[in-house]
């Protein structure tokens, strides 16, 4: 599936895979799971399996039909590096991304160990940004895994942010997104957690994007921090200047 997206840090979504399974605390109230089950109840054919991992080979070439360049979030309804997604299918996704250099593809995973293990078997085009979710200190190891990946942009999604991340290892990272959890059982987000990450990004020159405060009514809580909106994105020329080879940033 593909659509214009309401996600603040992207422009479109492309879902050649749907469905996932929980791996850490950030997954507890997964928005994609809620949406997938709702779509199944509505009789949408692509979601006949609910939130079980499902491949959609007929959507692999969809971005090739988009003429206008756009930022594309890959698998907003899944995780490309889920253990149930065959390596051969991941290769096909990467082939499409390489064939569409006018688009920028944003890939996000919680399965950083698999990402690390197969990264050298993937052909990384310059238009692929690779990120990991980091919701609390228990999953900081995902950042070390991400540093081994030769992506042009390596980014962190600290959403839903569930606790302080101080210090947050930002060496070799090019972008940080922060956001609170939304929905009926949203866990609270503390302003001091967000300010700490913002200040760490400022100190290291890493672009900072604050997505939302979240809550049961995220439309009411908004996305301003200390009176400002943070919509920073990595700039290609800045990334080229700051980029470090993975083997130099391992800790």
What does the pLDDT look like over 116-175, one tens digit per residue? 999 999 999 999 999 999 999 999 999 999 999 999 999 999 999 999 999 999 999 999
Contact, 174 vs 207, CB < 8 A?
yes
Q: Give me the domain span that covers residue 100.
A: 13-248
Contact, 212 vs 223, CB < 8 A?
yes
| 4 within some domain | no
Which of 208, 210, 197 lies closest to 233, judged by CA? 208
| 143 within some domain | yes
What does the pLDDT look like over 46-98, one tens digit per residue? 999 999 999 999 999 999 999 999 999 999 999 999 999 999 999 999 999 99
**Three-class HEC string of 188-245:** CCCHHHHHHHHHHHHHHCCCEEEEECCECCHHHHCCEECCEECECCCCHHHHHHHCCC
| 6 within some domain | no
| 1 within some domain | no
What is the number of domains present in the chain? Answer: 1
| 201 within some domain | yes
What does the pLDDT look like over 219-236, one tens digit per residue? 999 999 999 999 999 986
The token pair that represents 24 in the structure block? 């850490």
| 36 within some domain | yes
What does the pLDDT look like over 19-42, one tens digit per residue? 999 999 999 999 999 999 999 999
| 5 within some domain | no
| 2 within some domain | no
């Amino acid at each position: 599936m593909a659509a214009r997206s309401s996600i603040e840090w992207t422009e479109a979504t492309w879902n050649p895979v749907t469905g996932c399974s929980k791996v850490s605390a950030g997954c507890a109230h997964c928005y994609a799971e809620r949406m997938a089950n709702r779509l199944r109840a509505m009789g949408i054919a692509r979601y006949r399996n609910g939130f079980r991992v499902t491949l959609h080979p007929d959507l692999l070439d969809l971005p090739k039909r988009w003429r206008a360049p756009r930022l594309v979030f890959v698998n907003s309804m899944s995780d490309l590096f889920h253990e149930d997604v065959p390596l051969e299918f991941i290769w096909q996704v990467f082939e499409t991304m390489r064939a569409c250099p006018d688009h920028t593809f944003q890939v996000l995973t919680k399965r950083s160990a698999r990402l690390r293990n197969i990264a050298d078997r993937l052909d990384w085009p310059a238009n692929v940004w690779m990120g990991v979710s980091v919701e609390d200190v228990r999953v900081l190891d995902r950042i070390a895994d991400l540093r081994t990946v030769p992506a042009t942009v390596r980014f962190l999604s600290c959403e839903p942010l569930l606790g302080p991340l101080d210090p947050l290892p930002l060496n070799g990272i090019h972008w940080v997104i922060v956001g609170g959890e939304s929905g009926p059982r949203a866990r609270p987000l503390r302003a001091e957690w967000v300010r700490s990450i913002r200040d760490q990004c400022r100190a290291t020159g890493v672009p900072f994007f604050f997505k939302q405060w979240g809550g049961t009514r995220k439309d009411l809580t908004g996305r301003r921090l200390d009176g400002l909106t943070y919509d920073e994105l990595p700039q290609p020329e800045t990334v080229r200047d700051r980029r470090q080879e993975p083997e130099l940033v391992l800790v």
